[in-house]
Amino acid sequence: MWQLLQIELLKIFRKPRTYISFGAIAAMVVIIQIALKFDGQSYIEFLVGSLKDSLEIPYDHILNGYFVCFIILNLLLIHIPLLIALVAGDSVAGEANMGTLRMLVSKPVSRTTLMISKFLAIVIYTGLLLIWLAFISLLLSVLVFGTNDILIARNDALEIIGKNDVIWRYLAAFAFAALALTTVAALAFLLSVFADNSIGPIVSTISIVIVFTILSEMQIPLYDRTVKPFLFTSHMLAWKGFFYTKVDPGGSSLPGTIENIRAIGKSSGILLAYIFGFVSAAILVFNKKDILS
């Protein structure tokens, strides 16, 4: 298994396409950072809306590295699944298209082991992409904007988390984001088994994520209980829960607390179930598949 995993990682990281994702993330993050550096005040005014008059913290305190990172994650974690699909959707279908799948399957390796190795390699790729995102969105933002308390806008309220209470929340949020992105990777991996070129699974994954995201965001009571709780996209943004704290009777955030840890746990469980379901189905289908490419 270790040998196969090394081989799969070599294939992923020697392929130029892999680095599109890293480049795209870097470009987007830097563009956001430049915009906030030069026009951050306007963005904050827009963000706090009608509450700006009651805001007692100076804008230059609000516009710090932790806050910028939160903004970046809010904007990007919806779109990064598309980049994950580029690699995960290519994993089996790309090999079929190149003609290397028949070379792989005719080797003395069980198809199940081969598939597990491929998926683990995708998980590692996803993890590295998130580490890269964390590096440039958190570390670079802290270097450029400095650190301070973080202002979180929730519905019609503002929440302030002390700067000493932030890092662990980011670590937890990135860990949760890894789970969410792995779910998308597992979906692309499953679709990849059915195709003989990678365009189909990549486009299908992106389409499913977009449709499910729209359904998750729609405010239609009929879907609130019947559809939304079962869509993985409804649970992918639960990372924000790590920045929602309990408050004391005076309305101040309580350090080290999470408002609804059970909701995050439930979302994690649902995403894990999706991952298990998608990967199991992919292995099952691949084991029965005739390799004709």
Binding residues for other proteins, rule: CB under 8 A, are 3-4, 6-7, 10-11, 14-16, 98-100, 102-110, 288, 290-292
- Of 103 and 199, which CB lies nearer to other proteins in the complex structure? 103
Q: Quote the CA–CA distance of 114 and 124 in Å, as a whole number.
A: 16
> Cβ of residue 281: shortest distance to other proteins, in angstroms?
19
> Cβ of residue 13: shortest distance to other proteins, in angstroms?
11
Which tokens is 281 given? Answer: 């189905």
Q: Quote the CA–CA distance of 66 and 247 in Å, as a whole number.
A: 20
- Of 108 and 251, which CB lies nearer to other proteins in the complex structure? 108
- Of 35 and 199, which CB lies nearer to other proteins in the complex structure? 199
Q: Quote the CA–CA distance of 253 and 258 in Å, as a whole number.
A: 10
> Cβ of residue 193: shortest distance to other proteins, in angstroms?
15
Instruction: State the alpha helices, DSSP H only, in 99-166.
Output: 101-105, 111-134, 140-145
- Of 7 and 144, which CB lies nearer to other proteins in the complex structure? 7
Q: Rounded to 5 degrees, what angle do the CA atoms 176, 180, 183 make? A: 140
> Cβ of residue 178: shortest distance to other proteins, in angstroms?
27
Distances (CA, A) of 54 to 49, 51, 67, 217: 10, 5, 19, 29
